[in-house]
Structure 1
């Protein structure tokens, strides 16, 4: 029994590695690739937001399908195959419409997989946050590897190799999707205390989802234009890869130390700290002037703005969405934050980048993060029992 479980956890670790290895290529270099194809800023904003746009509705649709059919393993395989099928066309299309269609199709399937795998992992580990963090770290390692190696790879062979590299990583994702274990059977007898609508009406749930939306909205200039912004300031492409990797290295350290952090500070305190750090992070980038020391310091903030924010967000979701609602809760969390917040942030950043400039866009992002802190501070309460 332990060997199949070990093999299953190995497959989940491999899936996380490939899933976020794709992100490690796409986030730092996709905007640079599109700029090399001479797309205007507003089109770059749209094309860099497609992964987030699909995260608005695709996870919810696929999660509903998985809940109603009970065929989660099959759906994950279909998601992997669909992502490969879409990205197969990417090396051969160079117009706005063709790239939009290929990426929209591929990421519709790609974005479906993560909430299902997250729910599967939490079920297999019985909600053990420490073991989850150690498994989820493989995703961060995948991001680090591709963002560092990708920088040198692209510098040596040109940015035009990006679509082929993405396709190779996506083939690995599809292979691991076929090896994922089946979800253990769940007992729902004790899960009838609260309906889904009742959970969604809770103030804490609405505040957390709203704040996560604001956090990812503030990331719009970062995810869409950070690489372009710093290369325009004179930072080398290989250094850009290292900057992204530093952020994810900080993320890895925080994921591994979450049990220590949660033993000392409450979920609310950690959640609030993310928005203050995000405010400072976007201000540092805005006024960095290309100085590497300031950019390095700003990237360390990723430990808060992504890792702690995600871990505490997952904690709130796990607290409120139990049993048969867990998958839907995960999908809505992804949809509200990475989906709606991330896509709207990217589109708005694309629209504002040329008329306002990069510095102003990051200043606006800092204001949005500060708004998130104000909403969270007013709307979230410490649980009555502290110990």
Structure 2
């Protein structure tokens, strides 16, 4: 699986996120939905992550056809999304988003497993491949931010559809013959054993809390900044600065992992989560403070994501990697993301930007749990 093809997949996949996460709430607002409805609709992007990755992970682990799972998910995502052009009600939009995300959320966890298998013993270099996803995000968020200065938000679904087509076409370049199936696809006892380890259970809870804390940011940050008088181009630059910092951090991750423990990187990153959400809650009208808070995206997403991927690889055996990555996606981006979007939608109408204080408290709870429980050196790596 050549480096260029793998990196290209991450580029297009996260370009779709760069188009979707900052701007989809603006599209929903253009349909005259209120804050609570927008929160619920944004949550649909996460709800399917609670169950879809586990289903697709089980299929991939038991059949060994991981590449085909990725290709099928990418194909069905853009086919289902076409229905969005005929939707104007909250129910119609919500059902379309739910159906689209069911297939879209099948893709990334299994592709992460393929990437780690490709790297073999060089897993520390994962971040050098993953950073191309961040580059794709930056490209999309800046281009669309500038485009929305001159065109209406109604063009956004067409942009999303085009990027989905590119994801699917890129997935076709990945050859099934290159895939390596797990040694034992029916190692259910091993999976149960792993999931009963208390540290593993707390690990998933922490990543649930991390994404819960990101709820106000992913759902209402762009709307808040526009309401404060920032232009869509400025909002685009704020998102881009965050991901640029993430790119720099991904490039440095092999060095960081060589010199710092996973536990320490997680604790530092969670502390910076608390700081970031407090800065946004307190100083949202100060553009340069917002730039500083966006730089902290390198920690609140970048390093925490890299630590999470590394810990899944550490905790789970080779034959359960697909299900492990799926559970990681389900607990964090799925359950945590959905809860964060719904909760922020409920609170935003009452608290406004003060909702970020709740995010800071949630992150502080995650820090406390990590301080007590996350000690990877005490969990033997399972090699079935």
Summarize the Cα distance change of 1:260–1:167 in structure 2 as closer, same or farther, 3 Å threshold.
Answer: same
What pairs with 1:304-383 in structure 2 (closer than 5 Å)? 304-357=299-352, 359-381=353-375, 383=377
Q: Deviations over 1:235-288 (max 9, x none)?
A: 111111111111111111111101111122111010011111010100000111
1:226 aligned onto 2:221 = yes
Q: Give 5+ residue unaligned stretches, structure 2.
A: 380-384
Answer whether contact 1:20 1:139 (CA < 8 A) is retained. yes
Aligned to 1:179: 173
1:215 aligned onto 2:210 = yes
Structure 1 residue matching 2:106: 3-state secondary structure: helix
Counterpart among 133, 144, 150 of residue 150 in structure 1: 144
Task: Work out the CA distance in 1 between the residues paired with 2:154 and 2:58.
Answer: 38
CA shift at 1:329, angstroms? 0.4
What pairs with 1:229-240 in structure 2 (closer than 5 Å)? 229-240=224-235
Answer whether contact 1:250 1:302 (CA < 8 A) is retained. yes
Task: Work out the CA distance in 1 between the residues paired with 2:147 and 2:42.
Answer: 21
Answer whether contact 1:188 1:323 (CA < 8 A) is retained. yes
What pairs with 1:64-79 in structure 2 (closer than 5 Å)? 64-79=58-73
Answer whether contact 1:20 1:142 (CA < 8 A) is retained. yes
1:204 aligned onto 2:171 = no
Aligned to 1:54: 48
Q: Deviations over 1:41-84 (max 9, x none)?
A: 11100111222111111110111112223332322222111111
Summarize the Cα distance change of 1:384–1:371 in structure 2 as closer, same or farther, 3 Å threshold.
Answer: closer
Summarize the Cα distance change of 1:175–1:382 in structure 2 as closer, same or farther, 3 Å threshold.
Answer: closer
Q: Give 5+ residue unaligned stretches, structure 1.
A: none
Aligned to 2:382: none
Task: Work out the CA distance in 2 between the residues paired with 1:230 and 1:265.
Answer: 36
1:251 aligned onto 2:251 = no
Task: Work out the CA distance in 2 between the residues paired with 1:236 and 1:262.
Answer: 38
Task: Work out the CA distance in 1 between the residues paired with 2:80 and 2:287.
Answer: 37
Task: Work out the CA distance in 2 between the residues paired with 1:30 and 1:384.
Answer: 43
1:112 aligned onto 2:88 = no
1:17 aligned onto 2:7 = no
Q: What TM-score, normalized by structure 2, do the two folds share?
A: 0.94
The more displaced of 59-68 and 18-27 is: 59-68
1:27 aligned onto 2:36 = no
Q: What TM-score, normalized by structure 1, do the two folds share?
A: 0.94
